[in-house]
Amino acid sequence: MKMSFRWYGPDDPVKLWQIRQIPGMRSVVSAVYDVRPGEVWPEESLRRLQEQCAEAGLVFDVVESIPVHEDIKLGRPTRDGYIASYQENIRRVAKYGVKCVCYNFMPVFDWTRTQLDRPGADGSTSLVMYMDQLRGLDPLKDGLSLPGWDASYEKGEMRALFEAYAQVGEEGLWRNLAYFLRAVVPVAEACGVKMAIHPDDPPYPIFGLPRIVTCERNLDRLLGLVDSPANGLTLCTGSLGCAASNDVPAMVRKYSAMGRIHFMHIRNVLNLPDGSFEECAHLSACGSLDMYEIVRALVETGFDGYVRPDHGRMIWGETGKPGYGLYDRALGAAYLNGLFEACEKARG
Ligand SMILES: [Mn+2]
């Protein structure tokens, strides 16, 4: 396995030299952030990313994410132009050393939480999703701003998007994902890049918008759309794990044995009886997932892809991007390295 860490570029309060000092750290997960979805990334930006990481003693070889334009997800006539840009972006990142591209296919919203700074008993803060708070949110009402979501749509645009997705529905979204994958996977294959779709977070429909990358049945269907190793998964344990019906260690074992997991996001989550959940420290004892069983499944199936600690809490007075501070993610990486070493030695 190759340990990695997400970095938001030079404006990230977390610096590359700090990431370099986390024991066992190898790879940087990043992206070009100043280009709109659907446009082509300048080679100069990619060259700079590659150089900055190399100067810090790290390797830039994972992209998270190349965003998929809404017109592709909606299957609009303009999608072919955006898909051509996507294909070009795959070629370009490959030219600068990238081996794995993480992306998602969630309509309108990326990950959704109802609060980003919920204090825990120990004084740390974390991201949470509380169902009673969620019920009070309506993205089509005036003045709604969802935590962590950039309010780049006007209200009218948002309403039009919701109406368009209502027309497309779940089966339409599947058709549009298949169309996209049939166009981009052969390009990824040709340049040695593995595509790795991130599950929907949380893995169920939200605000009436369809969501399809949610459970084992749907992951099977997804992998069957294009049966190539280049059509693979980012298996995010916290995203899949906040639906109690997902047996995360079993899913990790199955898809890793198939060689279809290219990127692991490993974090824990504490599920509450009403379907709400709280992000927590990485340790098994802190949440609902058995982190040992997840790592054991990877080791026993010979997993050699990328791993990163996922969202951390804010601890020790750190301020910054919610979920993406240095300290708790570094603790997560150290804990995961310990689990990997123990499982590898037990296997002999
Ligand atoms: Mn994730």
Model confidence at 157, pLDDT cuts 50, 70, 90, reads: confident
Q: What was the pLDDT predicted at 143?
A: 55
- Ligand 1 centroid–CA 179 distance in Å is 24
Q: Which of 198, 215, 282, 343 is catalytic?
A: 198
Q: What was the pLDDT predicted at 158?
A: 82
Q: What was the pLDDT predicted at 130?
A: 93
**Which has more pLDDT, 109 or 127?**
127
Q: At what angle do helices 216-225 and 248-257 cross, to 10 degrees?
A: 20
Say whether 142 is catalytic: no
Q: What is the mean pLDDT of residues 230-246?
A: 96
**Which has more pLDDT, 123 or 142?**
123
- Ligand 1 centroid–CA 311 distance in Å is 8
Say whether 262 is catalytic: no
Q: Which of 86, 165, 255, 324 is catalytic?
A: 324
Q: Which of 69, 262, 282, 311 is catalytic?
A: 311
- Ligand 1 centroid–CA 243 distance in Å is 14
The CA-based dihedral angle spanning residues 294, 295, 297, 299, taken in that order and rounded to the nearest 10 degrees: 170
Percent of the chain with pLDDT over 70: 96
Is residue 337 over pLDDT 70? Answer: yes
Token code pair at residue 84: 């051509």
Give the total number of structural domains in the chain.
1
What is the residue type of 275?
Answer: G
- Ligand 1 centroid–CA 237 distance in Å is 7
Model confidence at 142, pLDDT cuts 50, 70, 90, reads: low
What is the per-residue pLDDT across 167-217, written as a single tens digit (0 to 9) for each?
999 999 999 999 999 999 999 999 999 999 999 999 988 888 899 999 999
First to last CA, the chain: 16
Say whether 274 is catalytic: no
Q: Which of 53, 100, 215, 236 is catalytic?
A: 236
How does DSSP classify residue 95? H
Q: Which of 265, 280, 306, 343 is catalytic?
A: 265
Token code pair at residue 1: 């396995």
**Which has more pLDDT, 239 or 148?**
239
Dihedral pair phi/psi, residue 269, rounded to 5°: -150, 140
Is residue 151 over pLDDT 80? Answer: no
H/E stretch holding 216: helix 216-225
Q: Give the Cα separation of 279 and 73 in Å (integer).
A: 28
Percent of the chain with pLDDT over 90: 86
- Ligand 1 centroid–CA 122 distance in Å is 24
Q: What was the pLDDT predicted at 4?
A: 98
Q: Give the Cα separation of 27 and 57 in Å (integer).
A: 9
Q: What was the pLDDT predicted at 149?
A: 60
What secondary structure, in 3-state letters, does 19-73 show? HHCCCCCCEEEECCCCCCCCCCCCHHHHHHHHHHHHHCCCEEEEEECCCCCHHHH
Q: What is the mean pLDDT of residues 307-323?
A: 95
- Ligand 1 centroid–CA 199 distance in Å is 8
- Ligand 1 centroid–CA 262 distance in Å is 13
Q: What was the pLDDT predicted at 145?
A: 60
Token code pair at residue 197: 């779709």
Q: Which domain holds residue 122?
A: 2-347
The pTM of this model reads 0.94
Whose CA is closest to 62, among 96, 29, 92?
A: 29
- Ligand 1 centroid–CA 310 distance in Å is 6
Give the CATH number for residue 278. Answer: 3.20.20.150
Q: Give the Cα separation of 16 and 237 in Å (integer).
A: 25
- Ligand 1 centroid–CA 265 distance in Å is 5
Dihedral pair phi/psi, residue 258, rounded to 5°: -80, -10
Q: CA 45, 50, 54, 60 torsion: positive or negative?
A: positive
- Taking CA atoms, 210 is separated from 174, 204, 309, in Å, by 10, 8, 28
Q: What was the pLDDT predicted at 112?
A: 85
Other CB atoms within 10 Å distance of the CB of residue 248: 24
- Taking CA atoms, 12 is separated from 15, 36, 110, 192, 322, in Å, by 7, 19, 20, 29, 12
Q: Give the Cα separation of 110 and 41 in Å (integer).
A: 21
Say whether 69 is catalytic: no
Q: What is the mean pLDDT of residues 152-171?
A: 85
Token code pair at residue 241: 């794990």
